[in-house]
Amino acid sequence: MSSSGGIEIPSRLPLLLTHEGVLLPGSSVRFSVYSPRNMQLVKHRLLKGTSLKSTIIGVVPGTKDPDSEIADLPSLHKVGTAGIAVQVVGSNWPKPHYTLLITGLCRFSISSVLKDRPFVLAEVEQLDRLEQFTSAVSESVTGEEEELRELSHKFHQSAIQLLGMLDMTVPVVAKFRRLLDSLPKEALPDVVTSMIHTSNKEKLQVLEAVTLEERFKMALPMLTRQIEALKLLQKTRKSNTDLEKRVFSVHKGLPGRQFNVDEENDDGDDTTALERKIYGANMTEAALKVCIKELKRLKKMPPSMPEYALTRNYLDLMIELPWSKNSTDCLDIGAARTLLDNDHYAMDKLKRRVLEYLAVRQLKSSLKGPILCFVGPPGVGKTSVGRSIARTLGREFHRISLGGVCDQSDIRGHRRTYVGSMPGRIINGLKTVRVNNPVFLLDEVDKLAKSLQGDPAAALLEVLDPEQNHSFTDHYLNVAFDLSQVLFIATANTTATIPPALLDRMEVLQVPGYTQEEKMEIAHRHLIPKQLEEHGLTPQQLNIPQCTTQDIITRYTREAGVRSLERKIGTVCRAVAVKVAEGQNITNPEGLTSECQGQQAAKEAPPEMPIVIDQAALRDILGHPVFDIEVSERLTLPGVALGLAWTPLGGEIMFVEASRTEGEGQLTLTGLLGDVMKESAHLAISWLRANSKTYQLTNIVGGPDPLEGTDIHLHFPAGAVTKDGPSAGVTIVTCLASLFSGRLVRSDVAMSGEITLRGLVLPVGGIKDKVLAAHRAGVKCVILPKRNEQDLEDLPANVRSSLDFILVSTLDQVLNGAFDGGFPGTERPPLSMLSKL
């Protein structure tokens, strides 16, 4: 037996082979034991032993693969630490293993391995000779010893300096101080190395430093490094109460023993990195406070706790959010105009307003302007204008689709107490774009729904209000985030379903549907080139002439926007792509076998380029035209009139049909009508009954009261679509007048207008969309309320010039305009009423 500083270790030691951590004398480390040999050591030696000696084992670090049965014994690390196993805990989950808490006593070197089964037993030699140094102090001092004493003094001073920089109220610092006061200086390198932040490699170097001098020399730079790092940190932080935990690892363990960082080294590094990131995220003071608090909690939690992952996720999100990261605006109105013009054809009014908006932003850097809301039918380019705005500003673009959102936590997030809680879409969007000044497009604000989970529109109020959104609080974050730099743009199909409070915060810009000519231009300038590119075709391969596009627009689509048109062009491209690809195979048959080549040659020659899509080819690809029924064909009977309706999908033409049978004067209405429309029908009947004499209307038996002995059925085709609103009033009157008089309504006339009981015609909305729909359907003349005259100015010039407008203020004028040669009993309209604008 040898002795060292009062410690004597047996000359034969069972060895615990480990690759996890490094045990230094004077420190305690927790080891997980899985490998068969180490398990046997615990079972046979530690659990069965009865004396204190039997709890002393040798810990050999740096073993390559201790789990393997045939660990490479000859290459074992030659220096190890003898230690006492002070705690053994067994567990069966996730697989059988033991956890040992071992306190290091002194170094030893392996002289020879005596046996390797069931565990490794070795002849060892104790290395630490502390008593030599201690005894040398009192005797005559040599040069070497003098140097050693100086080194140890310096080390002690540095340790005291480190201590002076830390808060003594923190338990781990107090313990460090106690150790510094009570331990002999010779023990300091091992103890300090194990307490401060050092890597496993550095600890191994200290373990291998057998002489004291070497050990001091090795550990001193590590201590100095820690002091320097602390100085730097203190410069950047006001309070240093948290530093201690960064300098030391906090370990629960036996009193009076020092604890080593290895066991939680990974976790420690992880939280340190997290802390560094938190400070680097440039967040607001309030957010930083919350993060520091959460980080403290996280450090105290074992990683297996479910809350650990939640807190970790929260901190990760906080770090990722762009608290003060923004992109620089590169706004140039001239360039913006060119870009908007290049991206979109027509939409002049919208583009003008957008440029005004951007110009104001250029002159005044504040964003406290109105929120723009583009309202119009689907496929008219609302979303793509939003995207262009982001491009002109050089900002990130993010689209938030609000269609069907019925839970306010979708906008504002869930509180973190809920299982599966998440931040809302706004915060998620910011995380995605990674800057705090993106363009957010709130798509389909009119399709927000309400539910038991709250009103998402109410949550949006806070987001969109420039007075409030600088401190938007997501429930998940629970700290305010400044949204004032975000540029919000909303889109909707109709304003009718947008909650008034929300609508009030936005400036509505109507984006009406396109005329056929506009669609032609859009198709040839944008849609066809885009689809060609998407299908890998070139204009040299596919040519869609103007007349074919015209055909697609009029006979295969009936829409306000151009989405369906784009789809049809896509279909044409796909069909051509097949032909082109086949042609390439024929002209380029390298990969084919000679047999195949023979077969190919038999086939027809490759198509001539470019492939021109004429009417026959179009019919081949798209099938029979979908909208071929001429309006005039449906107006061949008395009792049918053509109205104009406005829907969120744009303007529509709408037929009103009436029939009468013998009966008791009942009125039947079909076609899924709303209350207002039903009332219009009753109004129309009442007015006709009151004026039947004037207009020479008769019932089925020839009497003057149209309802006497007659049942009337009014039907509005497309019965599956709900219809409502007062604007069908004039059409119903015209339709009934036609029925009772037996005269045909003019086949090229469509109309819209609200009626009163006195026979006046009141103005209605959606004029532009309605007129465009009439134009699309090939109508020649449109009857509209006189008071809607100014709305006609919004119409494209070509539409205005190709239609006749009859502007009316009484039903008398309506009937006069709707029937060829006027209606019996009506006054001839003054010339100004009949105008071709």
Ligand X SMILES: Nc1ncnc2c1ncn2[C@@H]1O[C@H](COP(=O)(O)OP(=O)(O)OP(=O)(O)O)[C@@H](O)[C@H]1O
- Pick out the residues of the known binding site: 376-383
Stretch that binds ligand X, among 108-116, 290-298, 380-388, 814-822 (CB under 6 A): 380-388
Give me 241's structure tokens.
């109460």
Asked if 95 is an active-site residue, the reply is no
Asked if 185 is an active-site residue, the reply is no
514 versus 819: smaller Cβ distance to ligand X: 514
Stretch that binds ligand X, among 557-565, 569-577, 600-608, 680-688 (CB under 6 A): 557-565
Stretch that binds ligand X, among 104-112, 188-196, 382-390, 587-595 (CB under 6 A): 382-390
Which residue is at the shortest CB distance from ligand X?
Answer: 381
- Give the binding-site size for ligand X (rule: CB under 6 A): 20
**Using CB under 6 A, which residues numbered 424 to 463 contact ligand X?**
443
Is residue 383 near ligand X by the rule CB under 6 A?
Answer: yes
Distance (Å) of CA 591 to CA 588, 594, 597, 598, 604: 8, 10, 9, 13, 19
Stretch that binds ligand X, among 47-55, 270-278, 361-369, 561-569 (CB under 6 A): 561-569
C-beta of 351: minimal distance to ligand X in Å?
A: 9
The DSSP code sequence of 303-321 is TTSHHHHHHHHHHHHHHHS
Is residue 245 near ligand X by the rule CB under 6 A?
Answer: no
Residue that has been written with the tokens 């709250």 in this structure? 454
383 versus 810: smaller Cβ distance to ligand X: 383
376 versus 643: smaller Cβ distance to ligand X: 376
C-beta of 648: minimal distance to ligand X in Å?
A: 9
Distance CA 384, CA 525 (A): 15
392 versus 710: smaller Cβ distance to ligand X: 392
Site for ligand X (CB under 6 A): which residue of 380, 422, 677, 774? 380
Decide: 54 and 44 in contact? Cβ < 8 Å.
no
Is residue 203 near ligand X by the rule CB under 6 A?
Answer: no
Residues 486-505 vs ligand X: string with x where CB under 6 A?
-----x-x------------
Is residue 573 near ligand X by the rule CB under 6 A?
Answer: no
Stretch that binds ligand X, among 21-29, 226-234, 373-381, 584-592 (CB under 6 A): 373-381
C-beta of 491: minimal distance to ligand X in Å?
A: 6
Is residue 390 near ligand X by the rule CB under 6 A?
Answer: no
83 versus 378: smaller Cβ distance to ligand X: 378
Is residue 522 near ligand X by the rule CB under 6 A?
Answer: yes
Neighbour-count burial of 136, counting CB atoms closer than 10 A to its CB (0-12 exposed, 13-18 middle, 19+ buried) = middle
Q: Which of 729, 716, 724, 723 is nearest to 687 (CA)?
A: 729
**Using CB under 6 A, which residues numbered 338 to 357 contact ligand X?**
344-347
492 versus 781: smaller Cβ distance to ligand X: 492
Helix 306-320 and helix 425-433: axis angle, to 10°?
60
Distance CA 35, CA 47 (A): 16
Q: Which of 727, 738, 741, 752 is catalytic?
A: 727
375 versus 750: smaller Cβ distance to ligand X: 375
3-class DSSP state of 613: coil
3-class DSSP state of 28: strand
Q: What angle do CA 176, 180, 182 make, to 5 degrees?
A: 115
Residues 6+ apart with CB under 8 A from 115: 121
C-beta of 652: minimal distance to ligand X in Å?
A: 17
23 versus 347: smaller Cβ distance to ligand X: 347
Site for ligand X (CB under 6 A): which residue of 55, 326, 327, 384? 384
Site for ligand X (CB under 6 A): which residue of 77, 382, 412, 447? 382
Decide: 187 and 25 in contact? Cβ < 8 Å.
yes
Stretch that binds ligand X, among 113-121, 304-312, 541-549, 560-568 (CB under 6 A): 560-568
C-beta of 390: minimal distance to ligand X in Å?
A: 13
Stretch that binds ligand X, among 166-174, 379-387, 468-476, 800-808 (CB under 6 A): 379-387
Is residue 563 near ligand X by the rule CB under 6 A?
Answer: yes
167 versus 341: smaller Cβ distance to ligand X: 341
Site for ligand X (CB under 6 A): which residue of 17, 220, 477, 562? 562
Distance CA 607, CA 334 (A): 45
Q: Which of 175, 245, 299, 770 is catalytic?
A: 770
Distance CA 421, CA 475 (A): 9
Is residue 649 near ligand X by the rule CB under 6 A?
Answer: no
C-beta of 345: minimal distance to ligand X in Å?
A: 4
Residues 88-107 vs ligand X: string with x where CB under 6 A?
--------------------
3-class DSSP state of 73: helix
Distance (Å) of CA 826 to CA 129, 691, 821: 127, 11, 11
Site for ligand X (CB under 6 A): which residue of 83, 322, 379, 513? 379
259 versus 357: smaller Cβ distance to ligand X: 357
Site for ligand X (CB under 6 A): which residue of 5, 21, 322, 381? 381
C-beta of 372: minimal distance to ligand X in Å?
A: 13
C-beta of 475: minimal distance to ligand X in Å?
A: 29
310 versus 509: smaller Cβ distance to ligand X: 509
Distance (Å) of CA 171 to CA 180, 223, 642: 14, 20, 88
Give me 275's structure tokens.
């802390």
Is residue 796 near ligand X by the rule CB under 6 A?
Answer: no
Residue that has been written with the tokens 């170097």 in this structure? 205
Question: HSE of 221 in the Cβ direction (CA atoms, 13 Å)?
Answer: 8
Q: Which of 109, 132, 126, 76 is nearest to 208 (CA)?
A: 109
Distance CA 753, CA 816 (A): 15
C-beta of 764: minimal distance to ligand X in Å?
A: 23
CA dihedral 538, 539, 545, 546 (to 10 degrees): 100
546 versus 588: smaller Cβ distance to ligand X: 546
C-beta of 506: minimal distance to ligand X in Å?
A: 16
Site for ligand X (CB under 6 A): which residue of 251, 526, 660, 768? 526
Positions at the binding site for ATP:
376-383
Is residue 299 near ligand X by the rule CB under 6 A?
Answer: no
Question: HSE of 115 in the Cβ direction (CA atoms, 13 Å)?
Answer: 7
Residues 6+ apart with CB under 8 A from 610: 539, 540, 541, 542, 543
Residues 6+ apart with CB under 8 A from 348: none
Q: Which of 265, 143, 274 is nearest to 203 (CA)?
A: 265
Beta pairing partners, 81: 59, 107
The DSSP code sequence of 396-457 is -EEEEE-TT---THHHH---TTSTT----HHHHHHHHH-SSS-EEEEETGGG---BTTB-HH
Distance (Å) of CA 635 to CA 632, 642, 668, 747, 749: 5, 8, 21, 6, 10
Give me 280's structure tokens.
């680097």
Site for ligand X (CB under 6 A): which residue of 5, 66, 253, 378? 378
Decide: 381 and 344 in contact? Cβ < 8 Å.
yes
Phi first, then psi: give them for residue 656, nearest 5 degrees: -120, 125
Residues known to be catalytic: 727, 770
Binding residues for ligand X, rule: CB under 6 A, are: 344-347, 378-384, 443, 491, 493, 522, 526, 561-563, 566
